[in-house]
Amino acid sequence: MASFKSYPVFYSLIAALGLAAVGSGWCIYERSQTAHSSAKALAKKRLELTALTSSQPTPSEENKVLVNSDLTRSIAALGQMRAELKGSGPAAEALLKAKAAYAQASTLKPDERSKLLREAKVPFEPTHLFFNIATFVELMRDNAQAAKIKLKADERFGFTTYANAGPERDLIPQVYRQRQVAEYLLGALFQAAPSELVSFQRERPVDLVNSTKHTASSSHSVTAAPSTNNDLFEMDPRITARVSGFVDASAFRLTFIGDTASLRALLNKLATFELPLVVRGVEVDPIIKAQTVEKVAPANTLSSIFGNTPAAAAVEPVKPKPLVEKVLSKFTVTVELIDLVDNTPTEATPTP
């Protein structure tokens, strides 16, 4: 104590240095223990990584059988779905035949192409399709007249655009396909026996040759600027069945006047799936007829003044109103023809 009192600063520094040395030693020890634990954990992880990279797991025979069985079922289900989406019957066969002919002809030389399409009995020149459409229009008029369905005097069933000339050469496959589908849809409508056909519209065909540079701007289809042509309409992209690279579609719209039975008959016909047609919308506008009341002026006779009306002039009794009155409505039915895009099994879709 005497020496501390004599040299307090010296001994205080020695005590502080001693405490600092003890603290530093403890920190060094703690860090060394932590580093040792981390080194052991790292070595363990490295051993696990080495074991995983060196192992070559192989499925068991049982798993192989299960995977192959599941793959077989999936392929069979896919084939069945594709077959159903192609439709069945003469109309579907005609569509598939024309599509295959145009697809094969696109890879041939002009002379070979003309020979192939001539043998397939499909139009391959604008003039050929012009006469084909003209024959179709006359046939539909005769069928509508036989079914006693009212038409416009200049009705051309969605093909007024080609009343004087055929379509461009690049549009022939699409327009001919639309003509085929129109014949089926109008035939189904005439069987439903509406009272009047208001209009038949089709979606604008796409010029695939001149519009490929615009395909990136739309995820559904390339559409041209709006037109005043009553033959054409634009499908709402929110309800279309198109899926780029997988499903293509062509839309049609029928507007007619009739009763509910006509609409039901048309929808039942489409439900048979002779063609892969999917109903995308049905709009109904009831047609309310104004009731007229005939006012009869009182006769200026003596009997009418005193209320003695002769029996011959008596008013006929009012006929009872039926419980369910037959009311005509204006129906607009929008349908799409589903067309699966052919993808070969070797094609792979990159994952973004």
Q: Going residue by residue through the chain, which has 352 residues, state the pLDDT in tens, using 9 for 90 and above.
A: 566 667 677 777 887 887 888 878 888 888 888 888 888 898 888 888 888 777 766 677 888 888 888 988 998 888 887 777 777 778 888 888 888 888 888 888 888 888 888 888 888 899 999 999 999 999 999 999 999 999 998 899 999 999 899 899 899 999 999 999 999 999 999 999 999 999 999 998 876 444 433 333 333 433 333 445 688 999 888 888 888 878 888 899 999 999 999 999 999 999 988 888 989 999 999 887 655 444 555 555 545 545 555 554 455 566 666 555 678 899 999 999 988 777 654 444 444 4
Tokens of 330: 């204006």
Rounded Cα distance, 250 and 247, in Å: 10
Residue 234 lies in a domain: yes
pLDDT at 349: 45
pLDDT at 34: 86
pLDDT at 110: 82
Rounded Cα distance, 190 and 84, in Å: 25
Tokens of 145: 């007249």
Tokens of 13: 């520094």
Phi, psi of 350 (to 5 degrees): -65, 140
pLDDT at 177: 92
**CA dist 23 → 17, 18, 19, 33, 313 (Å):** 10, 9, 6, 16, 129
Q: Which residues pair with 301 in a beta bridge?
A: none
Beta strands in 69-223 (DSSP E): 196-203
pLDDT at 206: 76
Residue 33 lies in a domain: no
Rounded Cα distance, 151 and 191, in Å: 15
Residue 21: half-sphere exposure toward Cβ, Cα within 13 Å: 6
Residue type, 175: V
Residue 289: half-sphere exposure toward Cβ, Cα within 13 Å: 8
Instruction: Give CA 210 to chain center in angstroms.
Output: 24
Provide the domain limits for residue 173.
81-212+230-288+327-340
**CA dist 223 → 172, 208, 237, 276, 277 (Å):** 17, 11, 11, 23, 21
DSSP string covering 258-310:
E-HHHHHHHHHHHHT-SS-EEEEEEEEEE-PPPP--PPPPPP-SHHHHHT---
Domain count, the chain: 1
CA dihedral 91, 335, 332, 171 (to 10 degrees): -80
Residue 280 lies in a domain: yes
Residue 111 lies in a domain: yes
- What is the pTM assigned to this prediction? 0.66
332 by DSSP, 3-state: which?
strand
Phi, psi of 82 (to 5 degrees): -65, -40
Rounded Cα distance, 180 and 98, in Å: 10
Residue 108 lies in a domain: yes
**CA dist 53 → 50, 155, 188, 192, 339 (Å):** 5, 74, 65, 69, 47
Residue 141 lies in a domain: yes
Residue 17 lies in a domain: no
Residue 40 lies in a domain: no
